[in-house]
Chains A and B, each alone.
Chain A
């Protein structure tokens, strides 16, 4: 089996390959390591192959456990990884920071070495040699670290951002990323060590058609994701960002806006907002998003895939709940572009998955000239010229998301998460929207518009007895809910 052959299956099983990922991370951050590190650096599968059997998992309430010594190596490698991901360039550049960091890292590497030595005492032959390779790599890594840190911190030239974690900084260095490529990119949301050209399953595939759009499909560990290079300038001449006060010429920060939307979704437990992070692909820095399942509404409706018969009552209820979750997220992020090609729907029996995509046009700047000159732009919800999002506060909300919205203290919980992603005025605007939404949720709750069960909910007076479907489609509601706007044909 060639080295390449050996690497492929390892990445398809993320749950069983934590050990190898850790080893990969070491490989990823070790400047100067040979291009075919598997010759010197053991992967989990290689260790398995040499050991002849998978390590035993903990089972039977701890009565029978995997080899303690074997597990210890993995734990110590994880501690090395944690050390690399917990410190930022700014941390190690502080007075005494670098010394403390190197001391800690060396201590962690000592622990890896000790764990390996203990293992070797009990295991000889091929197993021992496999672990020896790991010890050798750890030593090389230890030797390389001072020089790598010198390069990251030294010199008069502009350097990578201070909020970049050390493992990401080392990966960026290896990929030849220049500081200018990091403009508008939040360092703390970079996962370069995990997602780069060396950790991908293969070369990226160019997805989009046409010369203007440039998006790639990249795969890590068998999981497909979409990568979009971070734009330093938006030359699209789109209207929305200009009205929203987005600096299209110098720093649109579209990636940050997408990540901020994901941060909000995670906090609200709203799965409609995709998780996003920054990655390296083809030597470029960009936004990496999970590839959304399903089809756009336009594509779903065209061939008659979705109709009254196709959607079961449970599926319809799930669709309505998620669309209202998305409306809530759009309101809170100031999203202006939720047209019906801008979210994906996956239907499988009773199960529906709605995923918001393209969250670039969000988080308007309340201090911008455009917003100040147009009172409607400053309203909540905003009413930007030509915007494609719902211009009303949500008519219904699920109990789950309503509870989360009320439980969140913006200043305590959200504002710190937005720092580094958004500007101070953008955060201020988000705070104002959040406060309006909290008040609105209280009103909805008082008046009976918080939904526990979307299949059985009926409207209070004056819409007595209306189902959620009828209520969201009631007269005049066409532009007041995504369901009413986009699913009138169901």
Chain B
């Protein structure tokens, strides 16, 4: 436990956007989606319940996927709660790294949703993301994602979900459990895999 003096010092500092987000999620019983360490200091709050390394749309799934299908691009994240009306409310997260692009949009906060009942499922998704990010990184290092491409995963309760290896021959794989299916894909051993490119 911090001493009184250090607690006083800490109290003088503005809480970081990451702290704000963590507390806001925690107050609502939610697990904060994983934020890559390199982006933690760049995080900002762009609107009420909207954080990100840049001011990125939480809604623009198509734009996100189009960009993710192109090799390269910045590492970035945005997450929060957005929507309209009485039931069109979503807990969203979009993350792009070298190895992974994941777009998550889950029903939360609508009048006809039972927020308490869905908390476990929502937090399970955050936990799955925590597994997915290192698994994708490992796959990239192992040479399973080549040509600067990444794994794309879209878990969306507004529209159909899918996963795909960008630039791969198989294209988008429709899925009711895209996070689980993507993890399963990454966990499947690949025989005779060539050595990773340096």
Contact = CB atoms under 8 A, between A and B. Distances in A.
Contact of A357 (B60, B62, B85): B85
A298 interface: yes
A234 to B, nearest CB: 7
A215 interface: yes
B138 interface: no
Contacts of A361: 84
B2 interface: no
A386 B59 CA distance: 9
Contacts of A237: 47, 50, 57-59, 82
A386 B64 CA distance: 11
B157 A298 contact: yes
A210 B86 contact: no
27 contacts: A208-B115, A209-B28, A209-B108, A210-B28, A211-B49, A212-B83, A213-B89, A213-B109, A215-B86, A215-B111, A235-B48, A236-B82, A236-B83, A237-B58, A238-B83, A239-B57, A296-B112, A298-B157, A339-B88, A341-B88, A358-B87, A358-B88, A359-B85, A360-B84, A360-B85, A361-B84, A388-B159
A360 to B, nearest CB: 5
A178 to B, nearest CB: 24
B158 A388 contact: yes
A11 interface: no
B34 interface: no
A383 to B, nearest CB: 12
B180 interface: no
Interface in B52-85: 57-63, 81-85
A237 B113 CA distance: 22
A259 interface: no
Contacts of B61: 386
A319 to B, nearest CB: 18
A212 B157 contact: no
Contact of B88 (A207, A295, A337, A344): A337
Given A210-B81, A212-B48, A212-B82, A342 B88 contact: yes
B167 interface: no
Contacts of B109: 208-210, 212-213
Given A209-B109, A212-B81, A386-B62, 14 more contacts: A210-B109, A211-B49, A211-B81, A213-B109, A235-B48, A237-B47, A237-B58, A292-B112, A341-B88, A341-B158, A342-B88, A344-B112, A358-B84, A388-B158
B60 A239 contact: yes
B85 A358 contact: yes
B101 interface: no
Give the most central of B28, B59, B116: most A CB within 10 Å: B59
What are the 5 closest A-B residue pairs judged by CB atoms, nearest first? A358-B85, A209-B115, A210-B109, A339-B158, A207-B111
Contacts, number: 117
Contacts of A241: 84
Contact of B89 (A208, A337, A388): A208
Contact of B111 (A208, A238, A299): A208
Contacts of B89: 208, 210, 212-213
Interface in A182-239: 207-213, 215, 217, 226, 228, 234-239
A254 interface: yes
Interface in A275-298: 289, 292, 295-296, 298
A385 B58 CA distance: 15
B182 interface: no
* Size category, B interface: 20 to 34
B86 A228 contact: yes
A314 to B, nearest CB: 25
A487 interface: no
Interface string A332-346: 000001011110100
B169 to A, nearest CB: 22
Nearest to B59: A239
A463 to B, nearest CB: 24
B28 A254 contact: no
A158 B106 CA distance: 43
Contacts of A254: 84-85
B111 A226 contact: yes
Contacts of B112: 292, 295-296, 299, 344, 357
A289 B81 CA distance: 24
Contact of A208 (B24, B57, B63, B86): B86
Contacts of B49: 210-212
A436 B120 CA distance: 47
A275 B111 CA distance: 17
B50 A357 contact: no
Contacts of A213: 81, 83, 86, 89, 109-110
A52 B59 CA distance: 62
Contacts of B165: none
Interface string A449-461: 0000000000000
A169 B58 CA distance: 41
A235 B86 CA distance: 15
Contacts of B179: none
A236 B84 contact: yes
Contacts of A299: 112-113
B103 to A, nearest CB: 12
Interface in A297-335: 298-299
A378 B45 CA distance: 35
B129 interface: no
Contacts of B60: 239, 386
A367 B109 CA distance: 34
B99 interface: no
B87 A238 contact: no
Interface in B150-183: 157-159
B104 interface: no
Contacts of B110: 208, 213, 341
A292 B85 CA distance: 14
B93 interface: no
